[in-house]
Amino acid sequence: MVHFFVNNVRPYPLIWSLVLAFLFLDATPYAAKIVTVEEICKNPNPAYALTFAYCSNLLNSIPGGAKGANVDSLAQYTLEVLQSNLTNTVNLLKSLIANSSTSPDLLDVYHICLNNLDDIGGRGQQGALAEIKAIKNGLKQHAYGLVISGLHDTLFYLRSCTSVDHGTPNRDFHDPSLLPQYTGDILKVIGILDAISGYLFS
């Protein structure tokens, strides 16, 4: 009996160390970094017309509070805000386009903006709202290169909307609608994501 037992127990240490090794690998998943709101918001890039107050108010409004929130969940939350801002802007543009009192010059602007901000064709391939889906996937997979390039593309689409009158200075593009305010919000939120993205790789 003793002989049998000893012979059969010998391989167990090796097996257990393998099992423990796998448990250890499984128990050490990707751990996202904790960064404070103050750190993220302290030096807002002037290109985004972003202030410390706007940045910290937005990040502190994350459900559960920003204290102890990791950088991935702050990015995820800010992306939700950006998506909702873009959706509101797309809906505003659709109602402006549907309004027969809208001047032809402004109608051109609104169409160009809609074509840059909406998820064109709904297939997630083109337009700022399509990029949000790609960025979310990148974040989920910790493929931060995709997050960064998606943010650049989103900014490009926004600028294609907000600079639409620059090539035609003789036309009057004073826009009395809420669009300039809405696109201003989008720019600020992209600025917050840009600030967060600096911490995703570290």
Nearer to ligand NAG, 51 or 99 (CB): 99
Q: In 3D, which of 74, 54, 55 has the Cα closest to residue 64?
A: 74
Q: Which is nearer to ligand NAG, 85 or 116 (CB)?
A: 85
What 185-188 contacts at long range (C-beta under 8 Å, 24+ apart), as own/partner pairs, is 185/85, 186/82, 186/85, 186/86, 186/89, 186/128, 186/158, 187/48, 187/49, 187/50, 187/158, 187/162, 188/48, 188/49, 188/50, 188/54, 188/55
Beta carbon nearer to ligand NAG, 36 or 87: 87
Q: How far is the CB of 182 from ligand NAG (least distance, A)?
A: 4
Smallest distance, Å, CB 166 to ligand NAG?
22
Both tokens of 110, joined, read 């609104």
HSE-up (13 A, CA, CB side) for residue 197: 21
By rule CB under 6 A, what string of x and - marks binding of each residue 183-202 to ligand NAG?
A: --x-----------------
Q: Could you give the CA distance from residue 55 to residue 2 in angstroms, rounded to a whole number? A: 70
Cβ at position 18, least distance to ligand NAG in Å? 50
Residues 61-120 that bind ligand NAG (CB under 6 A): 81, 85, 88-89, 95, 99, 101
Provide the minimum distance between the beta carbon of 15 and ligand NAG in the complex, in angstroms, as a whole number.
Answer: 54
Nearest distance from C-beta of residue 95 to ligand NAG, angstroms: 6
Q: In whole angstroms, how close is the CB of 59 to ligand NAG at the nearest point?
A: 10
**For ligand NAG, which is the closer residue by CB, 148 or 192?**
192
* Residue number, 70 or 88, with CB nearest to ligand NAG: 88
Contact between 44 and 55 (Cβ < 8 Å): yes
Letters for 24-63 (x = contact with ligand NAG by CB under 6 A, - = none) are ----------------------------------x-----
Confirm if 72 and 201 have CB atoms less than 8 A apart: no
Beta bridge partners of 34: 70
Q: How many helices (H) and strands (E) does the chain have?
A: 9, 0
Can you give the binding site for ligand NAG, defined by CB under 6 A? 58, 81, 85, 88-89, 95, 99, 101, 182, 185
